[in-house]
Each structure stands twice: as structure tokens, then as C-alpha cells.
Structure 1
Amino acid sequence: MKWEEIRKQYPNTFIKFEIVDSHMEEDKEIVDEIALIKTIKDGKEAMLEHLKCKTGQYIYNTAKDRVEIQMIKYIGIRGKI
């Protein structure tokens, strides 16, 4: 589903999802399309659900205009840019 559709269907709600389609803008991944896994009722439950996320799963609030994921480049074992 497109992010705009999710926002209309679930206003101001935490959701758990996987990325289906995205693009890069500078050092951020901008998510265009997602696969909804579940809705989450409040911030406390969102934090607990975040701890259970598998690789590629994210928790985000639909109050945001778009999904932006900050990318961090690691250089070696102990450094990051």
C-alpha cells in the first residue's frame, strides 16, 4: 500500500510494516510503498513491538507526512561516518 493510503485509513496510529518500494534522497531512504503487518494502539506497545522487530521491519506513526529512514555508513569495526 502507498503511505498516503495508510495515513488515510489509520490516522495518527503506530503501525508495523515492511518496505516494498523506496528511493534514496541524499543519506535518507524515502519509503513509497509498504506491506502493513499490524496496527499498534499506543506508544508503550509500539516500543515493546519495536524490540520484537525482525530485520527489515519498522514501527512508524502515521502522523508523519512520509517515512524517512536515516542511513548510517559504517567504516570498519569501530567507526561510522
Structure 2
Amino acid sequence: MRWDEVRELYPNQFVKFEIVESHVIEDKEYVDEVALIKAVSDDREAIKEFISCGEGQFVYSTNNPDLVIELVKHVGIRRSL
């Protein structure tokens, strides 16, 4: 399902989903298609769902016109003994 379709079906709500198709430009992932898991009724439930997300699952507000995820590189810390 495309993000604009999700926004039409669930206006002004949070939704939990998995990414089906996306593309990366520089340090941002632009999501083209999602697999909707469920609509979330309120802010408190959205926080609970966010905490319980499995690998590849996200919670996002349909108030946002575009679905863009900022990619963060994990930098390890090294030290010598």
C-alpha cells in the first residue's frame, strides 16, 4: 500500500507498518510502499507499539505528508589495551 493511500484511510492517526519498497538518497530512506500492520488509536498506544516493534517495523503519524526515515550510522568505539 502506498503512503498516500494509508493517509487517506487513517487520517490524523499513528500506524504500525513494515517497509515493502523504498529507496535511499544520501542519509534518508524514502518509503514508497508499506505493509500495514495496524492503526493505532491514540498517542499512549503509539508509544507502546513503538517500544514493542519488531525488526523492520515502524510507527509513524499519518499527519506527515511524506514517509522519510533518517538513517543513522552506528560508530563503534575502539580502545587499545
TM-score (norm 1): 0.90
Query: What aligned pairs does 1:2-81 form with structure 2 within 5 A after superposition?
Result: 2-75=2-75, 77-78=76-77
User: In structure 1, how many angstroms separate the alpha carbons of the residues matched to 2:77 and 2:42?
Assistant: 36
User: In structure 1, how many angstroms separate the alpha carbons of the residues matched to 2:2 and 2:29?
Assistant: 15
Question: Which is higher, the Rg of structure 1 or of structure 2?
Answer: 2
- Post-superposition shift, 1:72? 1.1
List structure 1 runs of 4+ shifted beyond 3 angstroms. Answer: none
User: In structure 2, how many angstroms separate the alpha carbons of the residues matched to 1:26 and 1:33?
Assistant: 19
Percent identical among aligned pairs is: 47
User: In structure 1, how many angstroms separate the alpha carbons of the residues matched to 2:77 and 2:15?
Assistant: 33
- Tell me the C-alpha RMSD between the 2 structures: 1.2
- Post-superposition shift, 1:78? 2.4
User: In structure 2, how many angstroms separate the alpha carbons of the residues matched to 1:73 and 1:50?
Assistant: 20
Aligned residue pairs total 78
TM-score (norm 2): 0.90
Name the structure where strand makes up a greater proportion of residues.
1
- Structure 2, unaligned runs of 5 or more: none
- Structure 1, unaligned runs of 5 or more: none
DSSP 3-state at the match of 2:12 = coil
- Post-superposition shift, 1:5? 0.5
